[in-house]
Structure 1
Amino acid sequence: MTDELLLVSRAHAREVAERHAARLRDRDVADNVAVETYDHDPSELDVDADGTTYVVPMAAAPGRDTAQGIPGALPTARHCEPVGASPAVTRALEDRAREVVEAGSDASLALVAFGDTSRSGQRDATEEHAARLREESAFGEVTTAYLLQNPAAECVRYNLTGDRAVAVPFFVAPCEETERALPEKLELDRGGLAYADPLGAHEAVTDAIEAELAKARAIDSGTASVQPVATDGSGDA
């Protein structure tokens, strides 16, 4: 029986997902590593997999798609948590910040996410990463902001106190939000605020995918007690 790892993402994130898939093939983590994407609704997925298929959503946080849409489209697969919820991703977020601003006590980091006023998945994941960054990174200040809820992205530059500051988009891949909406709301054209890349193909994200696969296999073998299914929330960007 074959053992497949399937990375499922929105269409705009296909290139990023393929880069992680290639790295995971090199690591020989499964008999097959594949990528499937959809434009608007996970029901567009058409996968006829043999054997055991483990699905990792290429999403920043739990949301409707990861909790309902993808499991509904692939009912026989084993469904893991979205990759962005993994603690390993905190390292990627810190690295993205350090690529454009040197960490230090006088440096501020703003973690900026999509957010959703009706569900908590995106906010919970964002705040957890921010808490770890406050504990583990050398940045003197770490704050959070959102496109669709408070604290609002428009207020980021006015709320930071460091002499140097960077905004890090908590998104799996470049998209309309990271390329247009956030730069406008952050008023990047005014200067004084650096802007990092989204998670993209950072190797820590690959590590997080592999960890989700290992967790799901452990549960299947009876050596773990927590089912790695996605919980409802928001933030599939």
Structure 2
Amino acid sequence: MTSETILLVGRDTRNAREVLEEHADRLDRRAVADDVGVATYGSEPVRELRGTFARLSAETVYAVPMCAAHTHDTTGAIPAALSYVPGDVRYCEPVGGSPAVTEVIAERAGERLPAAEDVSLVLVGFGSSSKPYHRQTTDYHAARLREQSGYGEVLTCYLLQNPAVECVRYNATGARSVAVPLFLSRTEATERRIPERLELARGGVAYADPFGTHPRITDAVHAEVEKQRALAADGSAPAASFEARLTRTRRPVATDGDGGRR
């Protein structure tokens, strides 16, 4: 039995597997754990991942959601799927909430349009009609960028909540704008829905790449694993975290396609 495995978990979007494997390779070269793996799913985490999770042989598995913020999947189906892991599961926070991501956003924006007083920086999140996590994460990075970057203003918008993506062009006051999608990999949203709603064909708005394989995302994963190790060493602290409660309480149900644990 190996002692520790890091498992990068994400939805299988257009280049997600490639992106996650690059981060996994970097972590493996750093010898952060005995093993580093990738697990992707299409639409049903429990049905698609339970076999992979049941075969994990590590005593401790650090499961890292590779997304900007918690979603219905990361608060429900993924923790339920993790109940199939034989060893001790330490469920981590989504990688998009790391302070390192602020640097990635600034760099992605700068690749398209350098910071200046007459340039508006727009952060585009997925959003949610019922959960606060995407807004919290987007607002966190926006506040840091207002303090740390040279952009004249930093605005936020979302696909699934207000302020809506299609309104931000008219809310921006800068002579030019650059929009950064807060997504790890390329998706249907980053390739079609966001560009259409930003009306990129009209000009005036530059559009940046998702976070992708940026090395600071690898650093963010590494830092989250080290944080979980420190919490475990504290003894009582890990059980109190939101993610730990999720793995204790979520179990497969009939709507997952499976009504019971292995």
Note if 1:125 corresponds to 2:131. no
The residue aligned with 1:93 is 105
Of 111, 119, 128, the residue aligned with 1:107 is 119
**Aligned counterpart, 2:17:** 14
* Counterpart check, 1:49 vs 2:93: no
Alignment of 1:206-217 (within 5 A): 206-217=218-229
Question: Structure 1 pair 144/224, CA: closer, same or farther in 2 (3 Å)?
Answer: farther
TM-score normalised to structure 1 length: 0.93
2: CA distance, partners of 1:59 / 1:49: 22
Q: Distance in 1 between matches of 2:219 and 2:189?
A: 25
Paired with 2:202 and 2:8, the residues of 1 have a C-alpha distance of: 38
Question: 1:199 deviation in Å?
Answer: 0.8
Query: In the alignment, what sits opposite 1:235?
Result: none
Q: Deviations over 1:165-209 (max 9, x none)?
A: 101001111000000000000000001100000111111111110
The structure carrying a bigger helix percent of its residues is 2
Give the partner amino acid of 1:134.
R
The secondary structure found in structure 1 opposite 2:229 is helix
RMSD between aligned residues: 1.6
**Residue pair 1:218, 1:224 contacting (<8 A) in 2 also:** no
Question: What is the aligned length?
Answer: 232
Is 1:60 matched up with 2:68? yes
Structure 2: stretches of 5+ with no match in the other structure: 247-262
> Post-superposition shift, 1:164?
2.1
* 1:4 and 2:12 correspond: no
Determine which structure has more spread, i.e. the larger CA radius of gyration.
2
Deviation by residue 1:105-142 (Cα, 9 ceiling, x = unmatched): 11110001111111111111111111111111111100
1:164–1:192 Cα contact (<8 Å) kept: yes
Identity value in percent: 53
Q: Report the counterpart of residue 221 of structure 1 in structure 2.
A: 233
3-state SS of 2:22 partner: helix
What do residues 210-229 of structure 1 show as CA deviations (whole Å, max 9, x unaligned)? Answer: 01100111111117846554
Q: Which has the higher contact order (CA 8 A, sep 6+)?
A: 1
- Mean Cα deviation higher: 153-162 or 170-179: 153-162
Distance 1:150 1:65, change over 3 A: same
Q: Distance in 1 between matches of 2:125 and 2:22?
A: 23
Over 6 Å off, 4+ runs: none
